[in-house]
Amino acid sequence: MGFHDQHIRRYVRASMAEELLDAETETQLAVAWRDNRDERALHRLISAYARLAVSFAGRFRRYDVPYEDLIQQGNLGLMRAAEKFDPNNGARFSTYAAWWIRASMQDYVMRNWSMVRTGTNATQKKLFFHLRRAIAKHQDDMTSNEPLSARVAHELQVPVEQVEAMMGRMSGPDLSLDAPRSSDDESRSWVETIEDDGVHTEADVADRLDGERQRAALYQAVEQLPDRERRIVAARHLSEDPTTLSDLGAVMGISKERVRQLEERALSRLTTIVRDGALMRADQA
């Protein structure tokens, strides 16, 4: 066993041996860090729940990423949880931290599993982490005439075309475009067979500039929203990986229904702000 493996084993044993904190101690430490930036309190809080990072890392090892990297990502999630945790919302820090640790590891796995961006939204992330289990459950079922992709889509409650796309992405490892198409010495590489259809006409450039102006107007409008509404819109509509109502509620310490109400109000405000801005620019033209 190499030094590196021994170091990881020692770290795991030390993490699992740390004291467990009761709710009152958690709150005291969290308040000390939030209000006084007490680094000793932060260290004790993080050390007590490093076991969560170790535990979650074991669940993600099947995705063929380094165990020590998973633990490191879990600890980063733990640090983010400590930074954002509100000890006054009534939730246990351990429950709150578990969400951040799992999310940090999921993002790391999906970034490193393939050079191609595999999951860019909540549906694709759900597919990536549950597809193999669902396929294993249904592929030997001889009682149904439905295609396997349709059965998996029904179980996971996602569109069948997204299931088929993810099945294709996960069917094998990445291949280099520089690799030859066949074993012949003079065979063309795959990259030579790709047609370049990306010619930008004047209309294409105009459309792109118009789109950029619209996005700039939208972001300016979002900045005018109250803080909570701005956070919700950013997480739900301006992120490559939109957050669910339930997850946002957990992070913000409010109910899923309250998040939905704030989101509707924010979108209504945005519509008004963007429309009024467009009318003002038209009057000035």
d(CA 126, CA 163): 10
pLDDT of residue 163 exceeding 80, the answer is no
Q: Are 163 and 149 in contact (CB under 8 A)?
A: yes
Name the DSSP letter for residue 190: G
Percent of the chain with pLDDT over 70: 70
d(CA 78, CA 47): 10
Provide the pLDDT confidence category of residue 210 given band limits of 50, 70 and 90.
low
Average pLDDT, the chain: 78
pLDDT of residue 266 exceeding 80, the answer is yes
Three-state SS at 191: helix
pLDDT of residue 39 exceeding 90, the answer is yes
Q: Are 85 and 45 in contact (CB under 8 A)?
A: no
Q: What is the pLDDT of residues 67-121, one digit of tens each?
A: 899 999 999 999 999 999 998 888 899 999 999 998 888 888 877 765 444 445 5
Q: Which two tokens stand for residue 196?
A: 């370049």
Three-state SS at 259: helix
Which has more pLDDT, 93 or 139? 93
Provide the pLDDT confidence category of residue 3 given band limits of 50, 70 and 90.
very low
Query: What pLDDT is stored for residue 116 in this prediction?
Result: 46
Name the DSSP letter for residue 184: S
Name the DSSP letter for residue 244: P
Q: Are 75 and 46 in contact (CB under 8 A)?
A: yes
Query: What pLDDT is stored for residue 115 in this prediction?
Result: 42
Per-residue pLDDT, averaged over 232-244, amounts to 84
Q: Which amino acid is at 162?
A: Q
pLDDT of residue 264 exceeding 80, the answer is yes
Which has more pLDDT, 218 or 68? 68
pLDDT of residue 203 exceeding 80, the answer is no
Percent of the chain with pLDDT over 90: 26
Q: Which amino acid is at 247?
A: D
d(CA 237, CA 241): 9
Query: What pLDDT is stored for residue 154 in this prediction?
Result: 76
C-alpha closest to that of 97 among 139, 129, 52: 52
pLDDT of residue 175 exceeding 50, the answer is no
Q: Which two tokens stand for residue 247?
A: 């997850």
Per-residue pLDDT, averaged over 130-145, amounts to 71
Per-residue pLDDT, averaged over 244-254, amounts to 89
Which has more pLDDT, 66 or 118? 66
Which has more pLDDT, 172 or 272? 272
